[in-house]
Amino acid sequence: MRARPFVPALAALLSAAVFLPTIRFGFLPFDDVFNMNINPFFRGDPSAEVSWVLTTRALGHWIPMTWLTYLIDYAAWGRHPGGYHATNVLFHALNVALCYAVARRLLGLATPTRPPAALTAGALAAALAFGIHPLRTESVAWVTERRDVVSGFFFFLTVLAYLKAADAERSRRRRWLGLSLLAFAASLLAKEITMTLPLVLVLLDLYPLRRLRWPAAIVEKIPFGLVGAAGAAVSLQGMATGVGFTGLDRLGLVSRVVLFAYSVVFYPLQTVVPVDVSPLHELPFRVDPLAPRFLASLLAAVGLTGLAILARRRAPWFAAAWAYSVLTILPVSGLAHAATILVADRYSYLSTLSWAVVLGGGVATLLVAPLGRAFVVTGLAGVILLLATWGALTATEVRAWRDAESLWSAAVAADPACAQCHWGLAIALAQAGRLEPAEQEATTAVVLRPDRADHHAVLAAVLEREGRLDEAARSWMAAGRIHPRYVADAVRALGLALLARGQFEAAVRQLRTARSLQPMLPVTPDLVRALNGLAIEQARSGHLAEAARALEEALALMPGSPEVRDNLIAVREALHR
């Protein structure tokens, strides 16, 4: 009994060790950069920062609890990324210890006749299966995905408090239920994905608590249901005004059902055989229900659901594990789809917890099974080998999150047909100044998904940096035809191409238009060069008045240009001769 506190600490330390290399990593140059590196609201003014944290919907989510942890990080570390990564690892380690506590309690309720030592070993196996699995990598190694580990922390506290309430006397029971409700609210304020937790509590009443009594058990869930509904409403509103939901014209009802089936099968399958771990799983251009992976998932989902129903009495652990994984993945299953992803490893952080507990139950059962010492030792060795394999795979996955280039290189290696992965790699290579491979990756992204404006825009930017202005202009125009936000860039690029060819008058027209379309666009130096070139051309042809007007416009745009000023003086002198 005295060794018990050591057991969850061991699981937490081993899990933390796997992710410890992340403290040497920097911020990734997409969401991390805005959230932590250039966030204008983290400037050392506590009142302004707290006000922003409580109200912001940055990146389409209202997650004040997660932002509060970032604020504390900023106060402690400033903008040093190692501190932020350390906090992610710390939260995950705490979650592993809490996972042990939850698993130990659930295994004890499910198999009350098991010896304490067997239950402890089973809970340890469950905690390690949760803590060191490769699917945890995105949630822990990516600073922006802090919301998973923070939300998970309060999720575990919610379940633990609820389990305490189930055994407590009436007066203390209300207190534990109140604490459970507060923890649930905090979990939602960290990430809304836990909105279905009230249904999980009902599931716990069914198994392993076996205490579902109508209507009392449902009445006590009403506060949880109201809080969960509020979280769902906030999430829907945030997504609608943020990245936006995928329309029915793009993703029909049949396709959404197929995506739901794919999601509920994908995460358990990847838990057992994590062969498809990747920073990005891209939604295909068309979701074909008859495609092998979607048809197989649909059949598997129906089959597993049927099996769970049939086995609900003889194997309630399987029915409960399957129901839990479906309920917890429901908010991100594809029924209400957004963005360009098919599935995401980070969504497994809590949704695969039941399968870790199932593994723990298997270990506890193995230890007391009358199968002979050799069989038990072989079985335990197999579990240890499985956990060690998962840990080694996780260590490899962690290294991929070192920087943007390594991340997107891993994503491309995992799925060469992922257009967005090639696009991300192109950006990373371009930022590193490696323009030739960046062009290759951007071209691949365009070939794979020519319907995405961002892909054309990245290719255009790379071509522009290579000095291939005519090709860049064509790519910018392709981007502008797909999305209006690139129209000004397309006009500017055309102006630059014309300027490079010495067609100054046409270049001036295009650059003026680009500046009017988007005043913040950095076209002023190029417009000044075009106006100066046009003025020289006009002066040589004897149109001194027009040349003076062009130079006056150029000087107004860039008063500090000595070349423009000298040319204007010369033209004005020529006018007065």
DSSP 399-415: HHTSSHHHHHHHHHHH-
Superfamily of the domain at 416-518? Tetratricopeptide repeat domain (1.25.40.10)
Residue 107 makes CB contacts below 8 A (sequence gap 6+) with 114, 119, 122, 123, 126, 357, 360, 361, 364
* pLDDT value for 1: 41
* pLDDT value for 241: 66
Residue 104 is classified by DSSP as H
Q: What's the Cα-to-Cα distance from 361 to each of 110, 343, 564, rounded to whole Å?
A: 9, 28, 80
* pLDDT value for 244: 64
Residue 32 makes CB contacts below 8 A (sequence gap 6+) with 81, 142, 143, 144
- State which residues of the chain have pLDDT below 70: 1-3, 42-47, 59-60, 240-244, 577
Task: Report angle CA 515, 516, 522 to the nearest 5 degrees.
Answer: 20
* pLDDT value for 433: 95
Q: What's the Cα-to-Cα distance from 12 to each of 5, 121, 396, 468, rounded to whole Å?
A: 11, 14, 19, 54
Q: Which amino acid is at 521?
A: L
pLDDT in tens, 465-513: 999 999 999 999 999 999 999 999 999 999 999 999 999 999 999 999 9
Kindly provide the b/e burial profile for residues 317-326, where b requires at least 16 CB atoms within 10 angstroms of the residue's own CB. Answer: bbbbbbbbbb
Q: Tokens at residue 154, please?
A: 């309060």
In whole angstroms, what is the distance from residue 245 CA to residue 282 CA?
16
Q: Which amino acid is at 85?
A: H
Q: Tokens at residue 435, please?
A: 């323009």
In whole angstroms, what is the distance from residue 261 CA to residue 73 CA?
39
The helix (run of H) or strand (run of E) holding residue 343 is: strand 341-343
Report helix, strand and coil shares of the chain as percent, to nearest 5. 75, 0, 25
293 close to 300: Cβ distance less than 8 angstroms: no
* CB-neighbour burial class of residue 64 (10 A; exposed 0-12, middle 13-18, buried 19+): middle
In whole angstroms, what is the distance from residue 517 CA to residue 403 CA?
35
* pLDDT value for 169: 84
Helix axes 524-540, 562-575, angle to 10 degrees: 30
In whole angstroms, what is the distance from residue 555 CA to residue 130 CA?
65
